[in-house]
Amino acid sequence: MKYTYLGRTGLKVSQLVLGTMNFGPRTDEAESFAIMDAALEAGIQFFDTANVYGGWDGEGHHGWTEEIMGRWFAQGGGRREKVVLATKVYNVMQDPYLGPNEGLGLSAYKIRRHLEDSLRRLQTDHIELYQMHHIDEVPGWDELYGVFENVVAAGKVVYVGSSNFGARHIVAAQAAADKRHFLGLVSEQHKLSLTCRLPELEVLPACADLGLGVIAWSPLGGGVLSGKAFDPAAGRRTQDEFARLTPTVQEQVKRYYAACAELGESPANVALAWTLSRPAVTGPIIGPRTVAQLEDTLRAVEINLEPDFLALLDDIFPGPGGASPWAYAW
């Protein structure tokens, strides 16, 4: 495994990020434990989750994925100490209904409550990276940074990150942090793949300028870049995603598969390697459902895509043309 710094921090993280969204509803606890053990053995120590992942378990408890991870940590053996743990706050977690403050969004009130719940489910006393799962334009940065400064000072959170923020939100967040002499955001988790290149216009340049690491979610384009889009045996989720694509995009995917075959690398690993080649990207999130799927992704960090092949990918999946305004103006 290869490692890099998370943005402008001194924290070293693996260039593949273990995504845990499947743990619970799609991957049972035993296999989830095996995947996390295999990830550590392979050198992947950056684990990403969210309080909402897993939804409800069979007994009506929310936060199923965090609970599975907490039981894995509780086994000991240095598991918690080895992991750089990231989770998120924003979504609805009410069970039973606790009032309007438990809906979608962010507030100092909600962040405090949901952080304590995540710590309990994860069976830990701190989170390395606590991320806002989505932008909420209602609360001001004085409110949000007020609570984040407090939980950082209390040792419950080490770093603060964002997810699904626009470039203007990231810039505003960092300007507000500077006024408070606070570190502010250290990372942005964003949708990025060969089939979703819009972040190259504004988000990636903003993160590069401000020193935020970018954690790429859905780097396989919802599964269509996995190499299994035409495989009847592939999961229904992948097939449904592919069926929604226009004929033009389907042809792009076919060309992509052919290019990867000529290169001698799997489409999934090429897609991950391309994501790693983007400016400011710390690493893509991989979401294995089995240990075998995890092991198949390890090759991605070793692939060096040459300029000619990157140009071919640009031809197959034209991006926005680079960063704005040069992408569309003189």
Does residue 136 belong to any structural domain of this protein? yes
What's the pLDDT tens digit per position in 274-319? Answer: 999 999 999 999 999 999 999 999 999 999 999 999 999 999 999 9
pLDDT at 57 over 70: no
* Mean pLDDT, residues 154-180 taken together: 98
Tell me what pLDDT residue 119 has.
Answer: 98
The C-alpha atoms of residue 133 and residue 138 are separated, in whole angstroms, by 15
pLDDT-derived band at 97 (thresholds 50, 70, 90) equals low
Q: Which residues form the domain of 170?
A: 3-222+267-306
Least confident interval from 5-19, 208-222, 236-250:
236-250
Tell me what pLDDT residue 168 has.
Answer: 98
pLDDT at 258 over 90: yes
In Å, the largest CA–CA distance within the chain is 59
Does residue 227 belong to any structural domain of this protein? no
| Number of domains composing the chain | 1
CATH code: domain of residue 72? 3.20.20.100
Tell me what pLDDT residue 238 has.
Answer: 64
The distance in angstroms from the start CA to the end CA of the chain is 41
pLDDT-derived band at 235 (thresholds 50, 70, 90) equals low
Catalytic (active site) residue 159? no
* Mean pLDDT, residues 76-84 taken together: 98
Share of the chain above pLDDT 90, in %: 86
- Alpha carbons within 13 angstroms on the beta-carbon side of residue 184 total 23
Tell me what pLDDT residue 118 has.
Answer: 97
Does residue 232 belong to any structural domain of this protein? no
Least confident interval from 93-107, 138-152, 278-292:
93-107
Token pair, residue 169, equals 């939100």
Amino acid code (one letter) for 148: F
Q: Dihedral, CA atoms, 3, 5, 6, 10, nearest 10 degrees?
A: 130
Share of the chain above pLDDT 70, in %: 95
Q: Are 304 and 311 in contact (CB under 8 A)?
A: no
What's the pLDDT tens digit per position in 261-278? Answer: 999 999 999 999 999 999
Interstrand relation of 185-191 and 84-89 (parallel, antiparallel or unpaired): unpaired
pLDDT-derived band at 55 (thresholds 50, 70, 90) equals confident
pLDDT at 56 over 80: no
Least confident interval from 98-102, 177-181, 184-188:
98-102
Is the overall model pTM greater than 0.85, yes or no? yes
Does residue 253 belong to any structural domain of this protein? no
pLDDT-derived band at 96 (thresholds 50, 70, 90) equals low
Tell me what pLDDT residue 171 has.
Answer: 98
Give me the chain's average pLDDT, please: 94
* Mean pLDDT, residues 49-63 taken together: 82
With H, G, I as helix, E, B as strand and everything else as coil, classify residue 159: strand
Kindly report the number of other CB atoms within 10 A of residue 41's CB atom: 9
pLDDT at 330 over 70: yes
pLDDT-derived band at 230 (thresholds 50, 70, 90) equals confident
Does residue 28 belong to any structural domain of this protein? yes
5, 53, 90, 130: the catalytic one is 53
Tell me what pLDDT residue 246 has.
Answer: 86
Tell me what pLDDT residue 245 has.
Answer: 81
pLDDT at 83 over 70: yes
